[in-house]
Structure 1
Amino acid sequence: MVDHSLDQFPVAVIGAGPIGLAAAAHLAERNVPFVVLEAGDTAAAAVRSWSNVQLFSPWEYNTDPAARRLLAEAGWQEPDASELPTGGDLVKQYLQPLAELPALAPHIRYGATVTALSRLGIDRLRTAGREQAPFVVRLADGEELLARTVIDASGTWRQPNAVGANGLPAHGEQDAAAWITHGLPDVFGADRDQHAGHHTVVVGAGHSAANTLLALAELADAAPGTSITWAIRSADPSASFGGGSDDELPARGALGSGLKMLVDTGRVTLAANFRTHSIRRTGDNQVELISTQGGEQSITADRIVAATGFRPDYGISDELRLELDPIMSAPRALAPLIDPNQHSCGTVTPHGYRELAHPEPGYYIVGMKSYGRAPTFLMLTGYEQVRSIAAALAGDLESAQSVELQLPETGVCSVTAGGEAIALRLGLSKEEHEQLLHVTAKYLGTSATAADAVLSAATELGIDHTAALQLAAYAADQFDAPGATGC
């Protein structure tokens, strides 16, 4: 009889993104054998696809403690904790060096797409002997690996939500796929020609939509004829503006303030109560989005950016016993802790291996995928998830059960910090930001509002019109002054 003692098999980590690599780092520290299976040809393949995007959380919230310790041993120069990285920075300065460490590199397999999971010789119906049977991890090329535990950190990037308002693809959406970009387009780089001088409609009300709208507004300054429409399902866009100057992540607050400015000044046309029912191609190489609920509305555009989020794909685990919340599509015990109707990404309760467990012993979903359809995930949350799981797998239950999470939530932050966040978004150095504060002080005595003062200072320093308005919007929010436009 073949010995299938689970201890002889490694932990299989699916995905070599930020959370998957963090899981590998924690397992390596605890001397737990593992293999990382990455579908892409490189580490952090999904992050590389949005390398142009600047995160609103600084470095201190984007790196894992175990990963930092391993990197430090190799002589790694840690980035400034307060700086805001782009996706490209995250890869170049953190994820790629992490994946290349001797403790991790030999255990990472690239081009290894997981297509199915099960138990050796046991389907989902059979209970007897289930906990003692290793997992079978089947790859796209037919190879099968055996594992004691599976940590699924595969994310949701390859599973975008549809443009259709009811969760289903809009009628005609598939036929119009060539006109639709999901996620975060590189409007200043690879995707510039698709948007410069054209009309883009951005569908969605989250941070991705705000990032894209702000970028398109800056593009419009340089490319005449560029126009932007923002389509949202709700009647009131205020929820998308976030905490403004009260946000403990200044860049996140600046994002909302800047978005409000775009709407208030008419630089972005708001289409509220717009719930896409159908999309049709027109004769002049455009597409028309049609909303029929509450009266018909239509928007004709050259390009659609679907900033509608992503959803998990549980197809690979169809033979496993999962317990998912019927609404959130997240582990049932985790779902109420991350419900976006009650929580922001900064108010999530600490959670670890217990909340992430399923009736299938030894199977854990972590990272963005663990949040199901909730858009409130921060990387720091995922790092704590895998720390707890690694501790449990190593037999250190005291550490595994002691979960702690210090997340930035809406709260008071300083004027300087908020201004620096916007300055970083606009590519200004610390010295240029200090100069901006100095010139703003000169105008405060003669300006009706703080917004006017910031706008005048930004104009004097040669900051473009959209950038100046973003700074003014945030200043008005900071000083509780009326009028974000100031002109």
Structure 2
Amino acid sequence: MDQFPVVVVGAGPSGLAAAAQLLERGLRPMVLEAGPQAGAAVAQWHHVRLFSAWSELVDPAARRLLESTGRSVPETAGCPTGAEWASEYLVPLADALGEHVRFGARVVGVARRGRDRVVDAGRDSEPLTVHVVTADGEERIPARAVVDASGTWGSPNPLGGDGLPAVGERAAADRIGYRVPDLGQESARYAGRRIAVAGSGHSALTALVALAELAREYPGTHITWVLRRGMVGSVFGGGEADQLPARGALGLRAKEAAKAGHVEVVTGFRTSSVHREPDGRLVLESQDGHRLAPVDEVVVLTGFRPDHSWLSEVRLDLDPVLGAPTKLAPLIDPNAHSCGTVYPHGADELRQPEPGVYLVGMKSYGRAPTFLALTGYEQVRSVVAEIAGDHESAGRVELVLPETGVCGGSGVFDAPQEAADGCCGAPALADLTLSTSRVGP
């Protein structure tokens, strides 16, 4: 197998770090990126500021590679935006990797050479084949191993509360967005409008803070925050107890925006349908028949999910709930863990039944949220050591993540409210003292 490269799918932070680790161990990486540049997904949320500092965003092997080629590594103490992370780190790192990175190369399939998923014979002796589509056509690349660092950015979760698009959601696509709005470019779309924001994670908090600032400038702007959970609970995060200060501050700013009256919070609302009014505005209806006031725009920030479709001919062992590697899933279940309580993990948890196939980076978390770059860098260090035959190093996984300041996990629902009202309780308007007033019966 030594004559074949290790194919890394995705030129994002984890994928490029894997390539740097492979080079350092004398192995030949081939990074295949569907987009036109390094960090193509990051470039799409260029306006969003990370809550990790530069020291937590640069992989050690990548740093050594950059420094060996005379390129500087950001040393500032602040937290960069997506644009800064891409331009000051990811793009230079891809340049340093040179011919080992190919852009405009979309992976559409991975298989064992000459064998479909059913065939047992030869799975240890034949190379993997990576099926790629480029502007010049199709090709198959033999590989000794495949490291899937393709992420989840291309597969956002829908608005529908049951995990599928709500009735009418697709038809209303012109007024529904699935990314944090770039108000530097899209302010006219949202200023002075009624906006519904669905989601309870950090992306939703980021959007709420940005839209609340817009509301201060344009008083007619009204924001309704739609939560599936039955109570506000720990949705604002750990605040000052968060070991990532910028992450804690984000939650505090979102809480202040809500307290200031810029954000109306609706809890216990699981969207089942989207109706278009004669004037074009949208009405969200819950599974219980409750309707919100019409809105001009809907921002859906309900997380992401992995795309395993192009891995259909290799043997995977994935958790049926999260879509993460089975051994990893219990460590990252959002009903039990925050990102600061994820146990150290590496090649052992990430390897698949198909020899030489590993899922790393955000994709390894499946539908679980709150993935940190530090996690991806330690994952690929361990996986590359395993591919190189250094099993001792691969098994020596050391990773201490910053605590979120929130005990337990994010949870899909808040148990106390569910126990009181049942899963079909009516949605409620919530103020930030956590008292509620009923909407509907």
Alignment of 1:314 onto 2:308? yes
Cα distance, 1:357 vs structure 2: 0.9
* Separation in 1, partners of 2:190, 2:239: 28
Alignment of 1:339 onto 2:333? yes
Match of 2:33 among 38, 59, 63: 38
TM-score when scaled to structure 1?
0.81
Match of 1:173 among 169, 172, 195: 169
Alignment of 1:285 onto 2:280? yes
Alignment of 1:389 onto 2:374? no
Identity of aligned residues (%): 54
Residue 151 of structure 1 corresponds to which residue in structure 2? 147
Supply the RMSD in Å over aligned alpha carbons.
1.4
Cα distance, 1:362 vs structure 2: 0.4
Residue 268 of structure 2 corresponds to which residue in structure 1? 273
Which SS does the other structure have where 1:279 is aligned? strand
Alignment of 1:54 onto 2:31? no
Q: Which moved more, 1:362-371 or 1:218-227?
A: 218-227
Cα distance, 1:306 vs structure 2: 0.5
* Separation in 1, partners of 2:75, 2:277: 50
Residue 358 of structure 2 corresponds to which residue in structure 1? 364
Alignment of 1:212 onto 2:212? no
Please, which runs of 5 or more residues in structure 1 have no aligned partner? Answer: 1-5, 413-472, 474-487
Residue 409 of structure 2 corresponds to which residue in structure 1? none
Q: Which amino acid aligns with 1:337?
A: L
Residue 298 of structure 1 corresponds to which residue in structure 2? 292
- Give the structure with the larger helix fraction: 1
**Deviation per CA, 1:14-35, whole angstroms, max 9, x where unpaired?**
0000110000000011110111
Residue 400 of structure 2 corresponds to which residue in structure 1? 406
* Separation in 2, partners of 1:299, 1:66: 52
Cα distance, 1:386 vs structure 2: 0.5
Q: Which amino acid aligns with 2:343?
A: T
* Separation in 1, partners of 2:228, 2:41: 28
Q: Are the counterparts in 2 of residues 274 and 297 from structure 1 also a CA contact under 8 Å?
A: no
Cα distance, 1:267 vs structure 2: 1.3
Q: Are the counterparts in 1 of residues 179 and 299 from structure 2 also a CA contact under 8 Å?
A: yes
Alignment of 1:164 onto 2:160? yes
Q: Which amino acid aligns with 1:63?
A: V
Residue 321 of structure 2 corresponds to which residue in structure 1? 327
Which SS does the other structure have where 1:239 is aligned? coil
* Separation in 2, partners of 1:321, 1:57: 35
**Deviation per CA, 1:340-375, whole angstroms, max 9, x where unpaired?**
111111111111111101111100011000000000
* Separation in 1, partners of 2:387, 2:404: 35
Alignment of 1:121 onto 2:117? no
* Separation in 1, partners of 2:399, 2:76: 17
* Separation in 1, partners of 2:121, 2:104: 35
Residue 18 of structure 1 corresponds to which residue in structure 2? 13
Residue 135 of structure 1 corresponds to which residue in structure 2? 128
- Quick one: higher RCO (CA 8 Å, sep 6+), 1 or 2? 2
Q: Which amino acid aligns with 2:106?
A: T
Q: Are the counterparts in 1 of residues 152 and 306 from structure 2 also a CA contact under 8 Å?
A: yes
**Deviation per CA, 1:71-101, whole angstroms, max 9, x where unpaired?**
1222333323531110011011111110111
* Separation in 2, partners of 1:116, 1:15: 14
TM-score when scaled to structure 2?
0.89
* Separation in 1, partners of 2:16, 2:218: 40
Alignment of 1:252 onto 2:247? yes
Residue 72 of structure 1 corresponds to which residue in structure 2? 67
* Separation in 2, partners of 1:324, 1:410: 26
Spell out structure 1 runs of 4+ moving beyond 3 A: none
Q: Are the counterparts in 1 of residues 168 and 274 from structure 2 also a CA contact under 8 Å?
A: yes
Alignment of 1:238 onto 2:233? yes
Alignment of 1:184 onto 2:177? no
Q: Which moved more, 1:144-153 or 1:237-246?
A: 237-246
Please, which runs of 5 or more residues in structure 2 have no aligned partner? Answer: 407-431, 433-441
* Separation in 1, partners of 2:167, 2:285: 10
Q: Which amino acid aligns with 1:132?
A: S
* Residue pairs, 1:466-477, within 5 angstroms: none
Cα distance, 1:244 vs structure 2: 0.8
Residue 423 of structure 1 corresponds to which residue in structure 2? none
Q: Are the counterparts in 2 of residues 183 and 309 from structure 1 also a CA contact under 8 Å?
A: no
Alignment of 1:352 onto 2:334? no
Residue 431 of structure 1 corresponds to which residue in structure 2? none
Q: Which amino acid aligns with 1:363?
A: V
* Residue pairs, 1:397-476, within 5 angstroms: 397-410=391-404
**Deviation per CA, 1:37-79, whole angstroms, max 9, x where unpaired?**
0000111100000000001111121111100111122233332
* Separation in 2, partners of 1:332, 1:143: 31
* Separation in 1, partners of 2:103, 2:293: 43
Cα distance, 1:411 vs structure 2: 5.4
Q: Are the counterparts in 2 of residues 117 and 138 from structure 1 also a CA contact under 8 Å?
A: yes
Q: Which moved more, 1:203-212 or 1:136-145?
A: 136-145
For the pair shown, which has the larger CA radius of gyration, 1 or 2?
1
Q: Which moved more, 1:281-290 or 1:372-381?
A: 281-290
Cα distance, 1:272 vs structure 2: 1.1
Q: Which moved more, 1:279-288 or 1:112-121?
A: 279-288
Cα distance, 1:376 vs structure 2: 2.5
Q: Are the counterparts in 2 of residues 50 and 88 from structure 1 also a CA contact under 8 Å?
A: yes
Alignment of 1:110 onto 2:103? yes
